[in-house]
Amino acid sequence: MTWSLLGSLHVSLAIAGLGSGLVVALLRKGTTWHRRAGWVYVASMVGVNVSALLIYRLLGTFGPFHGAALFSLITIAAGMIPVRRRADRGWLFRHAYWMAGSYVGLWAAAVAETTTRARLVPFWWMVVLSTVVVLVIGAAIIARTVPGAIERMGRRRPAA
């Protein structure tokens, strides 16, 4: 696969992840549409991270972005395993927080990628600064919204 094709695939999957993740975030939880959009998000994230692991143009070797891709795959697995098992009462809590964290991580990567193009400050400083800002804002949004979503799910039976 050529670099441009791989890069295009990577960007397309990232955009699909941003879009489907937004749909999941806005939909009522536990519905058929939530699950369908969620699977699109999971597939997009697996694809974007696998493609990231194949891209070596920046450093020529395994680097911090590859580590971030591996961590992102871990967050997806940590968010989906509880859904598949539903082994205890905490599965919904783990699913919601890991998946929300995964989505914030995707936004952090997107903002870092975009802001580095502006070249306002050196590359690595911009990556770190933009990532930290997005993660802090995302953590605050998660802390404010996810508990309410979990509470609402507890009042009704989630779709099987």
Q: In angstroms, rounded to a whole number, what is the distance separating the alpha carbons of residues 122 and 105?
A: 21
Model confidence band, residue 119 (pLDDT cutoffs 50, 70, 90): confident
Percent of all residues in the chain with a pLDDT value above 70, rounded to a whole number: 94
Task: Write out pLDDT tens, residues 50-102.
Answer: 999 998 877 778 888 899 999 999 999 999 999 999 888 889 999 999 999 99
Q: How much of the chain is in helix, strand and coil states, percent to nearest 5?
A: 80, 0, 20
157 backbone dihedrals φ, ψ, rounded to 5° = -80, 125
**Stretch among 44-48, 74-78, 148-152 having the lowest mean pLDDT:** 148-152
Instruction: Give the pLDDT score at 131.
Output: 94
Instruction: Give the pLDDT score at 59.
Output: 74
Model confidence band, residue 150 (pLDDT cutoffs 50, 70, 90): confident
Instruction: Give the pLDDT score at 156.
Output: 57
Q: In angstroms, rounded to a whole number, what is the distance separating the alpha carbons of residues 78 and 102?
A: 10
Q: Is the pTM of this model over 0.85?
A: yes
Query: What is the mean predicted confidence (pLDDT) over 3-14?
Result: 91
Q: Is the pLDDT of residue 158 over 60?
A: no
Query: What is the mean predicted confidence (pLDDT) over 100-128?
Result: 91
Q: In angstroms, rounded to a whole number, what is the distance separating the alpha carbons of residues 12 and 81?
A: 26
36 by Cβ neighbours in 10 Å (0-12 / 13-18 / 19+) ranks as middle
Which residue is associated with the tokens 């009462």?
A: 89
3-state secondary structure 9-23: HHHHHHHHHHHHHHH
Q: In angstroms, rounded to a whole number, what is the distance separating the alpha carbons of residues 93 and 77?
A: 14
Contact call for residues 109 and 14 (beta carbons, < 8 A): yes
